[in-house]
Amino acid sequence: MRKIRIYQKNTLAVQNIWRNQRRGILVQVPNASEFKFGDSVQINISGSKLIKKDGLLVLSVDNNQQLKVYSSGNTIAPLPVAVSSLKSKFDEFESTYIDITADVEPEPAAGTALKGDKILMDGDKNEIILHTQDNATFAGESIAPSASFRGIAFKEGEKLQVRMQSYADMAYASGKLYAGWPETFDAVDASVKGSYDMKDKNAVSFPTGQWNLYQAILGTTAGRDRIVSGKNAIRMQQNLSVDGYVQMNFDVPNGASKVTLWYGSYYTDRSCTFKLEYSTDGGTTWKQTGEPISDAHTTTESMNSKQAVFLMNIQGPVRFRVTKLGLGTSNNVINNGRLGLDDIAIYKSY
């Protein structure tokens, strides 16, 4: 098991991964200062008490000797989670190290300190509390208008919280999410784009604007398509030798500091490679931003989609597209399965 400290006196958050399932529990100990973030521990539960406290599972240990540290300094990667998923399936994320990308509401004035409770809100108006105790070492540091906030998934009563471990847990700071985003691709019936290439009908109008879905359809199959919110997700074709696009045919007006999206392989398909590109001349020319991504995973590995985060500093009108590379037919050296996408979000310049 791996241990993570949180801001309650003499309480640790411990998480374990088994068969691709990550679960966490709070552990009360006499002296939490003996443990460090990233310690791997083995717990002797003899004589311990397992209780529910404020809706959270808590293991109460009588003495520190029941916890044996067998390695330290382990890298613990936070699990990106949509706020909607956290609210609907909190038991799956309870007391684990998560990553929530959201805006701070209301928008904080420059220099506003992290301490206290701050409301984090995603584009679908789902809320969670960012809680920072006044005595945290970074409580006086400034909070960004939007970021990926990493910390322990916590709950007080019915209020869900994320509790950062350090100032570095406020990652990918950016401007606020554009109004009306993310694009969830849910406002249009899937039958409108039921074939991968519909020639002169690949352009589909959504609430954010018109998108060109070339070699892409609107997928609705639960458990196979990568539906993060709503009923639809993008599904891009496999085994092609030409690139496929999910492309904006419009600009956002005030630049961009960050783009996020959720992705994964369709069902049990092989992975593939895709990249994010942008245009500042109305779609005449396109430039790549960030690195190509090739680690899409199957639904067998995890039903939770991965989140891609691209940082940039673009001023003025800009549009984006996701380009799935036409690598050809999958074989022993080529992976080119179907790709699932959902909830594409653009953040203003910062």
Q: Do 131 and 166 have their domain in common?
A: yes
Quote the pLDDT of residue 335. 99
In angstroms, rounded to a whole number, what is the distance separating the alpha carbons of residues 231 and 297?
20
Nearest Cα to Cα of residue 257 among 316, 312, 320, 318: 312
Residue 190 backbone dihedrals phi, psi, to 5 degrees: -60, -25
Q: What pTM value is reported for the model?
A: 0.89
Among residues 149, 174, 199, which one ends one of the domains?
Answer: 174
Q: Do 197 and 341 have their domain in common?
A: yes
Q: Do 262 and 280 have their domain in common?
A: yes
Number of domains within the chain: 3
Quote the pLDDT of residue 5. 63
Average pLDDT over the chain reads 95
pLDDT-based confidence at residue 350 (cuts at 50, 70, 90): confident
Q: Do 229 and 339 have their domain in common?
A: yes
Quote the pLDDT of residue 129. 98
Has residue 216 been placed in a domain? yes
Nearest Cα to Cα of residue 58 among 29, 97, 88, 22: 29
Supply the range of the domain harboring residue 243: 190-347
Has residue 23 been placed in a domain? yes
The mean pLDDT of 201-219, rounded to a whole number, is 98
Q: Do 322 and 220 have their domain in common?
A: yes
Quote the pLDDT of residue 211. 99
Residue 192, C-beta contacts closer than 8 angstroms, at least 6 positions apart = 204, 218
Has residue 115 been placed in a domain? yes
Instruction: Kindly report, residue by residue over 233-248, the tens digit of the pLDDT.
Output: 999 999 999 999 999 9
pLDDT-based confidence at residue 14 (cuts at 50, 70, 90): very high
Nearest Cα to Cα of residue 155 among 245, 243, 87, 69: 87
CATH number for the domain that contains residue 21 = 2.40.50
Q: Do 109 and 248 have their domain in common?
A: no
Q: CA–CA distance from 268 to each of 79, 296, 326 (Å)?
A: 21, 11, 19
Q: Do 330 and 209 have their domain in common?
A: yes
91 is written with which tokens?
Answer: 């038991």
Quick check: 340 and 249 in contact, CB under 8 A? no
Q: How far from the centroid of its chain's Cα atoms is residue 168's Cα?
A: 17
Q: Do 340 and 265 have their domain in common?
A: yes
Residue 87: enclosing H or E segment and its boundaries?
A: helix 83-88
CATH number for the domain that contains residue 93 = 2.40.50.200
pLDDT-based confidence at residue 20 (cuts at 50, 70, 90): confident
Stronger pLDDT, 36 or 2, i.e. the higher one: 36
Q: Do 151 and 250 have their domain in common?
A: no
Sign of the torsion angle spanned by Cα atoms 225, 123, 347, 158: negative
Residue 197, C-beta contacts closer than 8 angstroms, at least 6 positions apart = 214, 215, 237
Q: Which of 46-55, 113-122, 210-219, 297-306 shows the lowest per-residue confidence on average (mean pLDDT)? A: 46-55
Q: Do 194 and 166 have their domain in common?
A: no
Instruction: Kindly report, residue by residue over 64-87, the tens digit of the pLDDT.
Output: 999 999 899 999 999 999 999 999
The mean pLDDT of 3-13, rounded to a whole number, is 74
